[in-house]
């Protein structure tokens, strides 16, 4: 129905966004973190059948969800690379997907993505909602390739 997908599958969208962000980080920095979803490698999570659960699907504008996941995962991948330092393998990124309900008529979904990064400083909390704000420091990561920038 137009831009609204009646069967939005957030796990599938998140893992697809991760694959694209992972590809870009590998191209730019020659390394990238693995993604674990609910404690399993991302590919195993999809194979586990979680996404077949009817409760994990809902009507939504799926491309918006993709853009959000892509930006969050791209930032998490870059933070992991920065924290690992030159030549070290970056730590994995962990995502938790929960579907539940707290009220009789409400159905809630929660996604938590953690990268064990530095977090967001108090002065940057309000700025993160601006498309033009970046927490990346100049020369924070020296990319070996000449592709376009991932951060900014």
Q: Is residue 135 part of a domain?
A: no
Q: What is the domain extent for residue 72?
A: 5-129
Mean pLDDT throughout 18-35?
Answer: 95
Q: pLDDT grade, residue 17 (50/70/90)?
A: very high
The more confidently predicted of residues 124 and 64 is 64
pLDDT at 3: 85
Q: Token pair for residue 152?
A: 């900014």
pTM: 0.79
Whether residue 68 is predicted with pLDDT greater than 60 in this model: the reply is yes
Give the C-alpha distances (Å, rounded to integers) separating 17 from 35, 63, 65, 115, 132: 11, 10, 9, 16, 21
CATH at residue 14: 3.30.565.10
Percent over 70 (pLDDT), the chain: 78
Residue 132: CB atoms within 10 A of its CB come to: 6
Q: What is the pLDDT averaged over residues 135-141?
A: 57
Q: Which two tokens stand for residue 106?
A: 């409400």
Whether 44 is in a domain gets the answer: yes
């Amino acid at each position: 129905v137009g831009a609204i997908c009646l069967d939005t599958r957030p796990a599938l969208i998140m893992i697809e966004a991760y694959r694209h962000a992972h590809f870009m980080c590998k191209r730019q920095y020659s390394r990238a973190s693995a993604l674990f979803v609910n404690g399993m490698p991302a590919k195993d999570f999809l194979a586990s059948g979680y996404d077949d659960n009817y409760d994990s699907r809902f009507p939504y504008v799926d491309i918006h969800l993709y853009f959000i996941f892509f930006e969050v995962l791209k930032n998490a991948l870059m933070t992991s690379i920065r924290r690992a330092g030159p030549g070290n393998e970056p730590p994995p990124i962990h995502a938790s997907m929960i579907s539940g309900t707290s009220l009789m008529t409400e159905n809630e979904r929660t996604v938590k993505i953690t990268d064990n990064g530095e977090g967001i400083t108090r002065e940057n909390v309000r700025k993160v909602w601006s498309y033009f704000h970046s927490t990346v420091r100049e020369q924070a990561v020296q990319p070996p390739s000449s592709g376009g920038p991932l951060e900014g």
